[in-house]
Structure 1
C-alpha cells in the first residue's frame, strides 16, 4: 500500500472541530514535511484557535497526525497558496 500525505483543514465548531478541507500534498514524507513546515501559523494551539491544519500520513484506511498548526483566516489564505503551489510542483515537476 502506498503512503500519502494530506494537509487537513479543520474549523472549531459548537460540538468540537469539523474538517472543512483536505489537500493531497505528496507521497513523499520529506516533501510533505517541508511544505508543512513552510506554512504560516503557530505550533502552540490556543483554546481560542478557530482554524487548525494537520499533516496526516495515511496508508490504506489508517492515518496518523504528524504535525498540527493553528492559524487565522489570513494565514489560512496564504497557506492554501503555498500548499497548492507545492502540490503542483510535486505532481507535475518533481517525479
Structure 2
C-alpha cells in the first residue's frame, strides 16, 4: 500500500479544532512537501490563529500529522489558490506521462 499525502483544514471552535476540508495530494512525498513549504502561515501557534492547515500522511492506513501551519483567513484564501493550482499542475503533468 502506497503512502498517501493530504492536507486537512481546521478551525478553532469552543469544542476545539474541527476539520472542515481536505485536499488529496497523492503519493509523491517530494511534491507534497514542496507544496506545503510554499503555503503561507506560521508553524508556531500564537493563540490568535483560528485556522490550521495540517500536512498529513497515511502510515499503515492510519493518519499521521507531519506539519501544521496557522493562518489568517486571507492566508487561507491564498493557500487554497496555491493548493488548487499545484494540484491541477501535478494531475495534468502526470496524465501526460502516462
Following superposition of structure 1 onto structure 2, how do residues 53-92 of structure 1 map, counting pairs within 5 Å? 53-59=53-59, 61-92=61-92
Give the structure with the higher percent helix.
Answer: 2
Runs of 5+ in structure 1 lacking a partner?
Answer: none
Q: Are the counterparts in 2 of residues 9 and 54 from structure 1 also a CA contact under 8 Å?
A: yes
Aligned pairs, number: 95
| Per-residue deviation, 1:65 | 0.7
User: What's the Cα RMSD here?
Assistant: 1.2
1:5-58 alpha-carbon deviations (Å, 9 max, x no partner): 111000000100000100002311110000000001111111221000000011
TM-score, normalised with respect to structure 2:
0.90
TM-score, normalised with respect to structure 1:
0.93
Following superposition of structure 1 onto structure 2, how do residues 28-67 of structure 1 map, counting pairs within 5 Å? 28-59=28-59, 61-67=61-67
Task: Write out the 4+ residue segments of structure 1 that deviate beyond 6 Å after TM superposition.
Answer: none
